Structure 1
Amino acid sequence: MSLEVAAHLALRVLGPVRLEHESQTFEPGARREQALLALLAAEARPMSRARLAALLWPDAEDVDARGRMRRLLHELSIHVGHRALVTDRQTVALANDVCAATDLASLRNSLARGLYRSTEDASEESLAALEHAANLAAAEFAEGLVIDECDELSAWLQRQRESLRQAREQALAQLVTRLEGARQHERALRHAQDLVAIDSLNEAAQRRLIRLYAAVGQPHTALQQFQRCRQVLHDELGVEPEAETLQVADEIGVRDVATTILADNPPSPAAVKFTRSGDVHLAYQVHGAGPLDVLLISGFVSNLEQAWEPGGPAAFFRELARDFRLILYDRRGVGVSDRTVDPADTSVSSADALAVLDAAGSRSALVFAVSEGGSIAIRLAVEHPERVAGLALWAPLARGTATHDYPWALTAERYERWLESLVAQWGRPAAIETFAPEHASDPLLQRWWARMLRLGSSPCCMHAVLRTLALSDVRALLPQVRVPTLVMHRTGDRAVRVDAGRHLATAISGAQWLELPGTAHWWWLGETAPIIEAIKGFGRRLADSVER
């Protein structure tokens, strides 16, 4: 990109250093170009040429460093335009309008509008400013920029990144305080989750999160969070929670229950039963006794018994079982079901789901299918619509790998690399940063996921399961779906792109689309209240017309 004027030039230093002008984006390839722009944006004032040269070339002679500085400024002015930089013989600065338009300047302005007010100020203006600041500060300053040979510059970059983290922490803490005071608990919960993700040893933030889970009607999740807090404090610091934290736990009635729930192998709330689909035995459970059956079709791995352990979706399951008769099962090749390595395409998997419905005595069910399970649910709805009251699809994709007309999945080559990487780390919390980026450092979740992989399948079986998934393609079936359908997806999902969900919802006639904020692919993490309410509301509308 080469610009002759600085007008409308936007310099971004939160995330990768880049310059945006209208529809163009330029990312400087040279590390010192990036560093210079980052320095000028952060300092927001004229900087001495000599000082900049010493930072960028600490081992060079003074004359040589100044010469390199002149060449760097010349190259940079070609890219950004001569008016974007203000230079004289002694100093260098960004033009005033460019400096005022950086994302870092926007962050500072938002912090000023939001922080320096009474903690009781819950006006939408101050809350929006704080949320904007927290979102901006979630990025890394000058992401990817490493100049190890420049010690002083490296230390400066580290200070900027730490300052950014502290600014986000401060903004989130204020948001939680003000929103909780205004009794906007669900909105506060989202920010409390982010606050704990920054520093899981921040016990005050942990207390707020526990309290907010209880406030939004999720006492079981509050229990799990209390135990995560206790575990991380024990593992990292060798201490027990503070008295105030224990009091919060007492107030929501979780402490006495904690020992039972946190046992190494807690009993599942219902017996595991078995049925057959052809020659394969399938394990299933039934929970609750509501007016409508809900069949869960899981993603690529599951284990009916381990799913109920702390860190997993137990609280989510219990919430659904309050209102519905919940049917869970392990697909062939995983969990407690037979560990077959025979390919199981969507036709076979759909027949398996039908066998589970028969065994559970369900005439018609709302099918809640997650991720890869969505294609199985779609085929079941098309081939046996009399057995499917409706579809509630979470983060679904219509095809396992990308093609020229389906760009919303991994290419076959990248999928194979991902599969090999996943199998290579089997038994550890493999790919947790993809499935739950904001919760990946949670020790309880790490242990749960590693144990799920060990108990859910084996490397050989998983190769078969996931290679079959790569070949799945139900796009031709989407226009044939005639049952009520709800499609849900989080905007920042890294495992399945939100565009895949949008495409699927558009292709199914009359489908409802619910896009939610967040990055977690796993539906039981993050802000779950909107998901549970959407499923329950959808299910209530179906219940009156369904005969079990």
Structure 2
Amino acid sequence: MKRLELQLMGFPEFRLDGRTVELALRKAAALLIYLAEVGGPVAREVAATLLWPETDEEAARARLRRTLYKIRIAFGSEVIAAAGASLSLNPALSVEADSRVFEHACNVGPLDAAADIYRGDYLAGFSLPDCPEIEEWIFFRREALRSRLVQALERLIEAKIADGEPRSAVVHATRLAGLDPLSESAHRHLIRAHLAAGDRAAAERQGETCIRLLREELGIAPDPTTLAMLREPTRDATLDLPRTRYVEVGGIHIAYQIVGSGPTDIVLVPGFISHVERIWEDRSCRAWISAVSRLGRLILFDRRGMGLSDRVGARPTVEATAQDILAVMNAAGSRRALLIGASEGGPGCIRFAVDHPDRLIGLVLWGSLAKGSRAPDYPFALTVAQYDLWKQRLLAGWGGPAEIQTFAPSLAADRQAETWWAGLLRAASSPGAVAGLLEALRDADVRHLLTNVSARTMILHRSGDRAVRVEAGRFLAAKIPGARFIEVDGDDHWFWVGDQQPLLNSISAFARRG
């Protein structure tokens, strides 16, 4: 069996049985890469449209035939199988793309191998400016893989320090800081690695670099946690944070943390974005988590495909979220818990409440909804077309504080909050990876489950919420038997922004009644 190798991390290279093959035509290279990444048949008309979008159908098909011929001549072999109306890589070939090998190493290890495979950004220096759909696909794929590298490096740094290899941790942390020089979290990783290696002078220099970059580029001051690491070198500031653990669900690893030790277990299911470690970097969010953890033993987690949990190839469903909740509760030794579903996390909590009523003390839904898009009998959500436009706007702003004015209008001019939110987005996911999640949320609909919820339920919603209209909360309360609806003043969607006390008081009273 012949072996086809594709080096896609960096500028693309191709080898057949160890022999380097030069593809002078970029569209020929793009076609081969696309087929390898899709991993299945692609319709001829789709391939032709992607590569020659401005050409009429007949001319595009003719150019596709010529491109296939040139690929065959370059390789001296039929590497692409043309079966009727579709194209795919020849099934008789053994195909290996380093991008796929990298992802596998990120999922199952070793992480050192994943870091070594990432020799450069995906298809760096390769572009097809006259093929906008291909360009967009490459961009999303590049961002997804870069996000995986950041995640792998963060885990490697922690592992190397824990294993007594601080010099290796410094190497990985230096690379991490180079990927995103404006990420305070990356600088903090490097400071910690230097301190672990006993090089206080290097840690102080890195601290000065971090402070200067944040001041000059973003106009903000560093977080007190960063300064504390330098003031108290014998004390590892990051150890104040709970340890991130993992539980496996059907081959997918879910990241979770346990905070506090109260008698009541509280499980918090996040909205569409989460990162169990980066959430601690915002002072308001940290204060909120700490306050909730004083009400009981708080269990935080990242849903599959998000944050520190494994990426998945399929769109996450409400059923998958319910499975993740169950797995995390079992791993944490939680028999029954108060379940808090925030925003888009609510539908998965509703599914769990119907499937596992015996595992709940109660259900709290904050700023949540039963359906992701508008219907004739559900008029207080965006239409599918409006939602898709909003998604495009969100993805276009990814890497910056995208849509913070929607989620937290009171923070829209707060540079510190904007910087944190931008960093959280980059760490939690990538534009390409989150696009599928957003589509799944758009299509989610648990209205048919609401009357089957038997757990005590409380609905909390801010009256001026710009992300999820208050009518969506009222709808939940009207349909869930015996649900209590509490409307809170304010426009912010995030529960840790604005007046937190009414929310904490309501959750505390609700937990005590359980």
What TM-score do the two structures reach when normalised by structure 1? 0.52
1:350 maps to 2:350: no
Q: What is the correspondence of 1:66-465 to structure 2 with a 5 Å cutoff? A: 259-260=227-228, 266=238, 269-311=241-283, 313-465=285-437
Match of 1:489 in 2: 461
- The separation in 2 between residues aligned to 1:237 and 1:448, in whole angstroms, is 11
Contact 1:311–1:445, Cα closer than 8 Å, also in 2: no
For the Cα contact (< 8 Å) 1:286–1:328, is it kept in 2?
A: yes
Quick one: distance in 2 between partners of 1:256 and 1:390?
36
Q: Match for 1:273: what amino acid? A: R
Contact 2:367 2:473 in 1 (8 A): yes
Shift of 1:310: 2.4
Q: Give me the whole-angstrom Cα distance separating, in 1, the residues matched to 2:228 and 2:238.
A: 7
Following the alignment from structure 2 to structure 1, what is the Cα–Cα distance between the partners of residues 455 and 255?
27
Residues 219, 415 of structure 2: 8 Å contact kept: no
Shift in Å at residue 323 of structure 1?
A: 2.3
SS of the residue corresponding to residue 435 of structure 2 reads helix
Instruction: Deviation per CA, 1:463-486: give whole Å up to 9, x if none.
Output: 111111111101011111110011
Distance change (3 Å), C-alpha of 1:272 and 1:317: same
- Work out the number of aligned pairs and report it: 298
Structure 1 residues 332 and 265, CA, compared in 2 at 3 Å: closer, same or farther?
A: farther
**In the alignment, residue 482 of structure 1 is paired with which amino acid?**
S
Does structure 2 conserve the Cα–Cα contact (< 8 Å) formed by 1:262 and 1:309? no
Q: Give the distance between the partners of 1:239 and 1:470, measured in 2 at CA.
A: 35
CA RMSD of aligned residues (A): 2.7
What amino acid maps onto 1:536 in structure 2? S
CA deviations 1:289-338 (Å, max 9, x no partner) are 11110000000010011000024511111011112000000001110000
Q: Name which of 452, 457, 476 aligns with 1:504.
A: 476
Residue type at the aligned position of 2:475: H
Deviations 1:509-543 (A, max 9, x none): 1111110110000000000011011111111111x
2:315 is matched by which residue type in structure 1?
Answer: P
SS in 2 for 1:303: coil
User: Among residues 460, 476, 480, which one is paired with 2:452 in the alignment?
Assistant: 480
Instruction: Output one character per residue of 1:206-245: Cα deviation in whole Å (capped at 9) or x when no partner.
Output: xxxxxxxxxxxxxxxxxxxxxxxx99x97799999xxxxx
Counterpart residue identity of residue 473, structure 2: G
Preserved CA contact (<8 Å) 1:266 1:309: no
Is 1:537 the counterpart of 2:509? The answer is yes
Q: For 1:485 and 1:270, locate their aligned partners in 2 and report how far apart those are by CA, in whole Å.
A: 29
Identity within the alignment, %: 44
Report the AA paired with residue 479 of structure 2: A
Runs of 4+ in 1 over 2 A off after TM superposition: 233-240, 255-268
Provide the residue aligned with 1:467 in structure 2. 439
CA distance in 2, matches of 1:309, 1:459: 22
**What is the letter of the counterpart of residue 464 of structure 2?**
G
Rg (Cα) greater in structure: 1
SS in 1 for 2:314: coil
| 1:261 CA drift (Å) | 8.2
| CA distance in 2 between partners of 1:457 and 1:362 (Å) | 28
Q: After superposition, give the CA deviation of every residue in 1:432-462 in whole Å (9 maximum; x if it has no partner).
A: 0000112111111101100010000111210
Equivalent-residue separation in structure 2 for 1:234 and 1:334 (angstroms) = 30
User: Structure 1's 267 and 422: CA in aligned 2 closer, same or farther, altered over 3 A?
Assistant: farther
* TM-score scaled by length of structure 2: 0.55
Instruction: Find the residue that maps to 1:523 and give its secondary structure.
Output: coil
Residue pair 1:286, 1:325 contacting (<8 A) in 2 also: yes
Q: Secondary structure at the match of 2:475?
A: helix
Tell me if structure 1 keeps the 8 A contact 2:228–2:237: no
Amino acid of the structure 1 residue aligned with 2:350: I
**Aligned CA distance change for structure 1 residues 238 and 501 (closer, same or farther; 3 Å):** closer
Gaps of 5+ in 2: 1-210
Question: How many Å separate the matches in 1 of 2:225 and 2:310?
Answer: 34
Distance in 2 between the 1:310 and 1:505 partners?
31
What is the Cα deviation at residue 258 of structure 1? Answer: 8.3
- Cα pair 1:436 1:520 within 8 Å, conserved: yes
Which digits, 9 at most, give the CA deviation of each residue in 1:11-34, with x for residues without a partner?
xxxxxxxxxxxxxxxxxxxxxxxx
- Deviation at 1:358? 0.6
Q: What are structure 1's unaligned runs of at least 5 residues?
A: 1-229, 241-254, 543-548
For the 8 Å contact 2:339–2:362, the answer to whether it is kept is yes
SS at match of 1:499: helix
